[in-house]
Amino acid sequence: MATSAIAAMLDDPTLTADVRTLSKLSGWHVSWAIARQWLVIGVTIAFAAHYDAWWAYLPAIVIIASRQHALGIIMHDATHFRLFANRTVNDLVSDFFCAFPTGLSTLGYREQHLEHHLSTNTPDDPYYRMFQNDPVWHWPKSRGEAARQLLADVTGFNTLRSLRMQHPWTAMGQWRLHRKDDQAARVRRDLLLSWAFWGTVIALVTLFGGWKLFLLCWFVPGLTFYQLFIRLRWISEHPYGEATSAGYETRHVQGTWLERVTIAPLNINYHIAHHLYPAVPFYRLPAVHERLLRCPAYLEQAERFHDYLGTDHSIRAELVTPAAT
């Protein structure tokens, strides 16, 4: 979207009033969203444990990876303080139910994520710098190279590379970065809380003899399909060229039902709406999008796609170069 069009749209007092209303927080919506993910995870693990066969574990791995991704989206909202009005409650709920279980820290993710919002696709954007320094993140790619990279994600060959990239977003990563500066007390507290969480998990798994189930139904999903879903979402959210004054560097992808469950859970596909109005919680982004569709500038200039992988109007066309003829 052209910068001048964005400025004019954001100055519309009616739109501003509507968005302010949609920015109100609902503890019920958040609590139910978190409970829903864990309910699906619990039922899926019970199914896999009951049958204890490869044909039960394989769908369980995919389903649980999709819910791990959803927990990450809820944590993402927490970095914007969009779960609960009380910021301590916001971070504690996010950490113990979303961030720590997926190996991350709300505090750790927040640092770079807010910088990303302030400087999207510029040299000051930590995500942009990180992606520019790693050829795995250089898109578009040829069909064969794209398939190889995504296969490497789902089979675990890219896992160590991905974990190194995500390390600053963990409690340990933050402690290593800030243990000697003015954030030392906060990162130390964060690290101790994460140790307490994982110490409790390990003790319970050991007590109930659940290591096989824990590894197959939590670590394997997190190291395989979870990485694939994250990759597909991240390469779709922003163009991989440096920002210019002529554009707003993000995209909206409507997505199929299956894509919204796996690649873009909990409305993260409404990415233009999120970047324009990060104060709006995830459960109200569709309403913001519908409101934006009444703005001529949004209709004419926003980069909107029908889906991620399927039709001629999918984001795939932006990510995979045509085969040579």
| Contacts by residues 5-13 (CB-CB < 8 Å, ≥ 24 positions apart) | 5/297, 5/300, 5/301, 6/248, 6/276, 6/297, 8/297, 9/292, 9/295, 9/297, 9/298, 10/276, 12/295
Measured over the CA atoms of residue 174, residue 178, residue 183 and residue 186, the dihedral's sign is positive
The values of phi and psi at residue 146, to 5°, are: -60, -45
Show Cβ contacts of residue 6 under 8 Å, excluding neighbours closer than 6 positions: 248, 276, 297
- Closest by CA to 84, choosing from 129, 21, 34, is 34
Q: What is the pTM of this model?
A: 0.94
Residue 69 exposed, middle or buried by CB count within 10 Å (0-12, 13-18, 19+): buried
At residue 62, the pLDDT reads: 98
At residue 300, the pLDDT reads: 85
- Closest by CA to 249, choosing from 141, 133, 119, 123, is 119
At residue 114, the pLDDT reads: 94
Tokens 């824990």 sit on residue:
214
- Domain residue spans of the chain: 1-23+250-317, 29-243
Distance CA(92)–CA(99), nearest Å, equals 10
The values of phi and psi at residue 141, to 5°, are: -125, 165
At residue 246, the pLDDT reads: 45
Show Cβ contacts of residue 202 under 8 Å, excluding neighbours closer than 6 positions: none
**Pairing of β 141-142 and β 252-253:** unpaired
Mean pLDDT by 10 residues, the chain (325 residues): 61 89 97 98 97 96 98 98 97 98 96 92 90 89 94 93 92 93 92 97 96 97 96 91 65 95 97 95 97 89 91 87 63
